[in-house]
Structure 1
């Protein structure tokens, strides 16, 4: 089994840049009344990036850690490693957001203690956290907890998780109705999005356990179905119209790389490595700061709309990459040293 699948770096790089573009175009269109018609069409299905993000996360975790299922120490180490990967960098961005919004707009986020507390711990809430895109991290962290429990005691927790997933499916098809409770926490716990993580796990299981031919067909069929669904917006659930084709794309990409020698460009690998920093930092730079300052100062009166877009996108990417180089990489090295002192660590590549 390969430790590192380079084609997944392409997906990570694509996700990071696409989500940045999605948020910037969305906010600028709200501000300037749809000046960016062509780009708006390109990002019209930007919400599907979340489906890819969740399925990819499930694949990577199962692919790298499934051999540790039943290993109590491995479960503990896995959860510690994931927590240290997610929270410290996220906390820094949250703090920067709080300080920035007060400095620029006199918004005192610390006065809303519930928002601050839930945002810092990534506890699900009825609304967005302080770092808006981080709502997805609440799902990621919960999936990590579930997976660590399965690793810890598979005989106990696999049946429990199976029942939970069955309840999600039954609720999805309205065989049982949990929406009647009208509670955001219930909605979170039984969200159909958790199924996407396990679709990624299923793809990883297939890759590990079966020798599959015609790998190119999986890739092409997945891409065709995804494009077809995005183009026609069928009235069927995203699990079928988006998540299923995306799963086929990931399966095809991995199988193709395992069969052929594919060289991933260094720039793509670099952006893939920096994808987490881009994801959590870009909103602060582009939306909270640059678009906000542009609106307050009415810069569109002196700068062309397209130039405004180019400046915001460029600075969003540049600052996020600087955050990766000068904050994430040094911090990860420090955290790795802490892990080596207190827990057994594993040489796991493709960290989501």
Structure 2
């Protein structure tokens, strides 16, 4: 099956594709906070110590990255389902995703890189960043200066693959080949993995499949709920050696069920959760360098691990929301007005292709 036209979906799919799903924003909020808690625990434990026994469970917050990847795959397919796979759409898609990723990222990524240069030796041990990867988020032998940006390298590569396969009208065949290659080669997850073939990328594909089924109203609630619970339980009882991809598969089934429920009007998301979802990218970008500051301040005041956690999480959330309203949202609106709106006019004027 080829992706000949994202708009050729069954009746009702276009309406579904145009509807914002609040459950996805809630998922982004949850994922961002989970990652913040994970890194706050690492920072407080390493710099202050005195962590209670339950702190080891906070390491599961790293799974927020897997959550993000599934949501990203879902959102990209869901938002593209009424589009034409022609040259203008591909250019517009890459422009929109590039603006969404790079405009909020560049100020923080470049600032962290300049800080590392001005204060040698202050970065994480063994973290040798590269300017090319920092500026482009393309895979090289060196990581970006902003440590959490290693996940953005996977995002950028996924966007390139998705756009290329749609342009070639071979989305499903291409995704199958990519997934098979990742499954056979099985590179580990994490910053040191092969960005193009890391097994974690399979979570993008799982998100796409979840969106495909939701848009066609093909989500068997009981079956998918059972599969979600099964994968999640297997991951958590399987021990540290269990690959996080198992968790990602559970999330994919869970997201499919939750999105299906929302389309039927069975889920309501509180406004403050939506706010956190809107600011989740800003929170994710800003939290790591901010935790390095807040934890040291707490240590200088001779306070406890718990205070470092509380201050770090609160400061990261507040700073992320401030960055979202003060810079991310207005800058994206400006870019949309100057760059994306003219491109959308070109796309609408492009002749339809079947």
What's the TM-score bracket when you normalise by the shorter of the two chains? 0.7 to 0.9
Alignment match, 1:122:
137
Aligned match of 1:45 = 60
Report SS of the residue matched to 1:154.
coil
- TM-superposed deviation, 1:107: 5.7
Unpaired runs of 5+ residues, structure 1, are 173-177, 348-352
User: What is the correspondence of 1:1-352 to structure 2 with a 5 Å cutoff?
Assistant: 1-2=15-16, 3-41=19-57, 43-68=58-83, 70-101=85-116, 105=119, 115-155=130-170, 159-172=173-186, 187-213=194-220, 215=221, 218-219=224-225, 221-223=227-229, 225-233=231-239, 236-239=242-245, 241-287=246-292, 289-294=293-298, 298-299=299-300, 301=302, 303-340=303-340, 342-344=342-344
SS of 2:276's equivalent in the other structure is: helix
User: What CA distance in whole angstroms lies between the structure 1 residues aligned with 2:308 and 2:206?
Assistant: 40
1:261 and 1:123, CA in 2 relative to 1: closer, same or farther beyond 3 A? Answer: same
Distance (Å, rounded) in 2 between the aligned partners of 1:31 and 1:201: 40
Distance 2:226 2:142 in 1: 38
1:97 partner SS: helix
* TM-score w.r.t. length of structure 2: 0.82
Aligned residue pair count: 325
The answer to whether the Cα contact below 8 Å between 1:59 and 1:201 also exists between their aligned partners in 2 is yes
Q: TM-score when scaled to structure 1?
A: 0.82
Find the aligned partners of 1:113 and 1:300 in 2 and give their Cα distance.
Answer: 31
Contact 2:48 2:304 in 1 (8 A): no
2: CA distance, partners of 1:116 / 1:12: 28
Contact persistence 1:58–1:199 (CA under 8 A): yes
What's the CA shift for 1:330?
A: 0.9
Structure 2: distance between partners of 1:123 and 1:77: 20
Query: In 2 relative to 1, CA 258–160 (structure 1 residues): closer, same or farther, beyond 3 Å?
Result: closer
- Shift of residue 340, structure 1, vs aligned partner: 4.3
- Over 3 Å counting, the alpha-carbon distance change for 1:28 and 1:38 in structure 2 is same
Corresponding residue for residue 7 of structure 2 = none
Work out the CA distance in 1 between the residues paired with 2:61 and 2:132. 29
Query: Whose RCO is larger (CA < 8 A, sep 6+)?
Result: 1
Instruction: Give me the whole-angstrom Cα distance separating, in 2, the residues matched to 1:168 and 1:29.
Output: 35
Alpha-carbon distance in 1 for matches of 2:241, 2:288: 31
Note if contact 2:40-2:291 (Cα within 8 Å) is conserved in structure 1: yes
1:221 deviates by 4.8
* Pairwise CA distance, 1:138: 0.3
The answer as to whether partners of 2:112 and 2:289 remain within 8 angstroms in 1 is yes
Question: What's the CA shift for 1:48?
Answer: 2.1
Distance (whole Å) between structure 2 residues aligned to residue 305 and residue 236 of structure 1 = 29
Contact 1:222–1:246 (CA<8 Å) still a contact in 2? Answer: yes
Deviation at 1:124, TM superposition (A): 1.8
Q: For residues 139-194 of structure 1, what are the alpha-carbon distances to aligned partners after superposition, in whole Å with 9 as ceiling and x for unaligned?
A: 00000011111222214x7545543332222223xxxxx89xxxx78x32221122
Alpha carbons 2:128, 2:143 under 8 Å: kept: no
Residue 129 of structure 1, CA deviation: 1.8
Q: Secondary structure at the match of 2:212?
A: helix
Q: Which has more helix, going by share of residues?
A: 1
Asked if the contact 2:73–2:204 (Cα under 8 Å) also holds between the matched residues in 1, the reply is: yes
SS at match of 1:189: coil
Shift of 1:31: 2.3
| 57-66 or 253-262: bigger deviation | 253-262
Distance in 2, matches of 1:113 and 1:102, equals 11
- CA deviations on 1:200-258 (whole Å, 9 max, x unpaired) are 11111111224444x2663465246414521442755443x312211111111111112
Query: How far has the Cα of 1:14 moved from its partner?
Result: 0.5
